[in-house]
Amino acid sequence: MNDIKRPLPNLEERDTEDFWAATLDHELHFQQCSHCDTIVFYPRSHCTGCTEGELISKAASGMGTVYTYSIIRQSYHPFFRNLIPYVVAWIDLDEGPRLLSNVIDTDWQAVHIGMRVQISWETHEGVNLPLFKAAQD
């Protein structure tokens, strides 16, 4: 069963290719509008606030807080079935964006709303995936 691979993103999608390229340097990027300062995540070609400004890519610190989460106890995908139970969480990055990821290397029963987390990179050929684990004090 070790040959079952995690589904990976399309690395050639025009709006997200720069985001995924930055992960190779262990950088988690988000965008901010040069016109209205709206923070944009997931990567897009236009501002979701004013639709007029240029989106500037910025690197996040990788620190955040669990906004909400779910414990997954059943999955039909073979890769995820081997991880059960696992945590899917909305993470509020310190810089403002909110993203969906997994909380790993942490007892799933210890995960809670408001929990401080830090980025943990999962390495694959051509991309690193931003996952999160409990922050070290």
Same domain for 72 and 128: yes
Tokens at residue 46, please? 């236009």
Do 121 and 131 contact (CB within 8 A), yes or no? Answer: yes
Do 32 and 12 contact (CB within 8 A), yes or no? Answer: no
pLDDT at 61: 98
pLDDT at 2: 58
Burial 105-131 (b: 16+ CB within 10 A, else e): ebeeeebeeebebebbbeeeeebbbbb
Same domain for 69 and 133: yes
Considering its fold, how many domains does the chain have in total?
A: 2
Same domain for 75 and 24: no
Same domain for 53 and 71: no
pLDDT at 1: 45
Domain that holds residue 96: 61-137
In a domain, 5, yes or no: no
In a domain, 135, yes or no: yes
pLDDT at 108: 95
In a domain, 134, yes or no: yes
Last residue of a domain, one of 43, 59, 75: 59
pLDDT at 53: 80
- pTM of the prediction? 0.92
- 77 class by beta-carbon count within 10 Å (0-12 exposed, 13-18 middle, 19+ buried): exposed
Residues of the chain with pLDDT under 70: 1-2
Distance, in Å, from the CA atom of 113 to the CA atom of 58, rounded to the nearest integer, reads: 26
- Taking residue 44's Cβ as centre, other Cβ atoms within 10 Å add up to 12
Distance, in Å, from the CA atom of 43 to the CA atom of 40, rounded to the nearest integer, reads: 7
